[in-house]
Amino acid sequence: MPQRIAPLRGTLATTACMETLQVGYLHAVAAAAGCSLSQPFPDNGIDWHVSHGAPGHVVDDEVTIKVQLKCTYQIPARPPGATFAFTLDNAHLVKLARTPVSVHKILVVMLVPRSQDDWLRAGHDRLDLRHCCYWTNLAGHPVTGRHRTTVRIPTSRIFDDRALCEIMTRVGAGGRP
């Protein structure tokens, strides 16, 4: 790939840019999966509600899950092993781990390159967004740290349109994500 000259980027904080990027990823996945999105207001520890309507759902004609998004550049692309470690504030974990629930929750963690110059590549036939989102259901996960708890995110659970459809199919059948 030819070397590109870095553009003059805006002054928005990197963490705010990371948040915007992961929201764009979620929107793309939801669109490809045929899902609708809504944002709770005010945000009470859950970023998005994702809904999926399908005639095959047995619990309702449309099912919803709650999604908490996180983003980091501290974990490299393609983490080795079956899982990678991610640390959450205990207050966030308690919210995500609550069980039983009427609306299931998932955590979606996006890994991005450290440099914004490497986040996105566009061409005539594709849009490459780097690196990847992974998802997990933390229902029942215990708090183990004093203020923060490290959870394990499975590298096999890439969050894409097919994964989201499978999650919604399980929830629509009365199961867990």
Task: Give tens-digit pLDDT for 33-80.
Answer: 999 999 999 888 899 999 999 999 999 899 999 999 999 999 999 999
d(CA 110, CA 70): 6
CA 141 to chain centre: 18
Q: Judge whether 68 and 105 are in contact, CB under 8 Å.
A: yes
Q: What is the mean pLDDT of residues 83-105?
A: 97
- Domains of the chain by residue range: 14-172
> Is a pLDDT exceeding 80 seen at residue 2?
no
Output the average pLDDT for the chain.
95
User: Averaged over 98-112, what is the pLDDT?
Assistant: 97
Q: Which of 87, 76, 83 is nearest to 111 (CA)?
A: 76
Specify whether domain 14-172 bears CATH 3.40.1350.10: yes
pLDDT of 45: 85
Q: Is the pLDDT of residue 145 over 60?
A: yes
147 residue type, one letter: H
Name the residue with higher pLDDT: 131 or 3.
131
Identify the pLDDT of residue 1.
56
What phi and psi values does residue 29 have, to the nearest 5 degrees?
Answer: -65, -45
Cα-atom radius of gyration of the chain, to the nearest Å? 17
Instruction: Indicate the pTM of the whole model.
Output: 0.93
- Residue 10 confidence (pLDDT): 87
